[in-house]
Amino acid sequence: MPSPDIIQLLPDSIANQIAAGEVVQRPASAVKELLENAIDAKATHIQVVLREAGRTLIQVIDNGSGMSVTDARMSFERHATSKIRKSEDLFSIRTMGFRGEALASIAAVAQVELRTRQDGDELGTLIRIDGSEIKTQESVAAVTGTSISVKNLFFNVPARRNFLKSNSVEMRHVLDEFQRVALAHPEVSLTLHHNDTEVFNLPPAKLVRRIVDIYGKSYREQLASCQEETSYVSVRGYIGKPEFARKTRGEQFFFVNDRYIKHSYLHHAVISAFDGTIPDGSHPFYVLFLDIDPSHIDINIHPTKTEIKFDDEKSVYAIVMAAVKKAVGMYNFSQSIDFDD
């Protein structure tokens, strides 16, 4: 006798919880996803409010497009996105999101409250959702934009919760994500409050001013601008003086089409360009923006979208190296950079 059929489709709540394992590793991952959604919604002002390094509360408030009643509900479905429609769209992505899984994942492992209103709508929508289960949906008065509160992250995943590090370590990760978004979007005003203390209050500014606002005035004299362009890719940004290189890593940033990415091969291009000017094993400061036609890149490698493949990686290496070499070589660090907006 054959055995009976035993395969079943998983309920959405379990599928979402499994997907959440990849997308939401810690409070910082939720902060990143919510900030990126606010950026995609064209917000010009974004507030982040945290309690206990995001363990008990992560709230992101934006003045972006807001959502309709139906979209507000849809936004928590898995693979639900307004950012792509057909497979070709994967080759022309300019938005931060496109996988449609962040909100579904976050809602699977936290208690979430969404308040949103589109410009022109009389009322907004309030949705409360606990571990993928919608508890409340009602019309409410609301300002234009979106506010999402994520409470008690991993309340239903004890193993993940116990895996979290101390508040200071988790906060370090949150600050990393916050600073990456702040660097990528100097034109957006951003605030960060932690346990009622203001950590950052960044006005809209040019990139160089944003760097100084984040890292302090001492960076002002240390930066050299960097620019190079080919038909394939353009590079712009700032590098720190060779003497300014540090023993520890952490202030090296690549953004490809405004998305922060990690790329050891390109990091190597920068280090090679500094060749001979910095001691071995020290790390120069850099914030470099690469702009490239999205059809030449693939960011759909990992759910967190911090890895990227270029179709011609060698060209990118060459131009990054050339741009940095030129900036180091000119050594014109006395050039006056205009810090005013």
Q: Which of 27, 54, 64, 284 binds ligand ADP (CB under 6 A)?
A: 64
Question: Which of positions 114-173 make contact with ligand ADP (CB under 6 A)?
Answer: 146
Binding-site partner at residue 146 among ligand ADP, Mg ion, none, CB < 5 to 8 Å by type: ligand ADP
Write down the least CB distance from residue 126 to ligand ADP, Å: 14
Evaluate whether 60 touches 35 at the Cβ level (below 8 Å): yes
Whole-angstrom Cα Rg for the chain: 22
Does the footprint of ligand ADP cover residue 38 (CB under 6 A)? yes
Does the footprint of ligand ADP cover residue 237 (CB under 6 A)? no
The span of 2-10, 96-104, 129-137, 165-173 binding ligand ADP (CB under 6 A) equals 96-104
Q: Which of 24, 30, 33, 117 binds ligand ADP (CB under 6 A)?
A: 33
Residue number with the smallest Cβ distance to Mg ion: 97
Binding-site partner at residue 316 among ligand ADP, Mg ion, none, CB < 5 to 8 Å by type: none
Q: Which of 47, 63, 65, 132 binds ligand ADP (CB under 6 A)?
A: 65
Which residue lies nearer to Mg ion by CB, 37 or 189? 37
Q: What is the 3-state secondary structure (H, E, C) of the chain?
A: CCCCCCCCCCCHHHHHHHHHHHHCCCHHHHHHHHHHHHHHCCCCEEEEEEEHHHCCEEEEEECCCCCCHHHHHHCCCCCCCCCCCCHHHHHCCCCCCCCCCHHHHHHHCCEEEEEEECCCCCCEEEEEEECCEEEEEEEECCCCEEEEEEECCCCCCHHHHHHCCCHHHHHHHHHHHHHHHHHHCCCCEEEEEECCEEEEEECCCCHHHHHHHHHCHHHHHHEEEEEEECCCEEEEEEEECHHHCECCCCCEEEEECCEEECCHHHHHHHHHHCCCCCCCCCECCEEEEEEECHHHEECCCCCCCCCCEECCHHHHHHHHHHHHHHHHHHCCCCCCCCCCC
Question: Which of positions 35-64 make contact with Mg ion (CB under 5 A)?
Answer: 37
Binding-site partner at residue 77 among Mg ion, ligand ADP, none, CB < 5 to 8 Å by type: none
Measured CA to CA, the distance from residue 341 to residue 339 in angstroms comes to 7
Binding string, residues 95-134; x marks residues near Mg ion by CB under 5 A: --x----x--------------------------------
The span of 57-65, 129-137, 285-293, 319-327 binding ligand ADP (CB under 6 A) equals 57-65
Write down the least CB distance from residue 95 to Mg ion, Å: 8
Evaluate whether 190 touches 202 at the Cβ level (below 8 Å): yes
Does the footprint of ligand ADP cover residue 37 (CB under 6 A)? yes
Bridge-based pairing state of the strands 286-292 and 252-256: parallel
Binding-site partner at residue 67 among Mg ion, ligand ADP, none, CB < 5 to 8 Å by type: ligand ADP
Write down the least CB distance from residue 152 to ligand ADP, Å: 19
Write down the least CB distance from residue 271 to ligand ADP, Å: 33
Binding site for ligand ADP (CB under 6 A): 33, 37-38, 40-41, 62, 64-67, 71, 75, 80-83, 97-104, 146
Binding site for Mg ion (CB under 5 A): 37, 97, 102
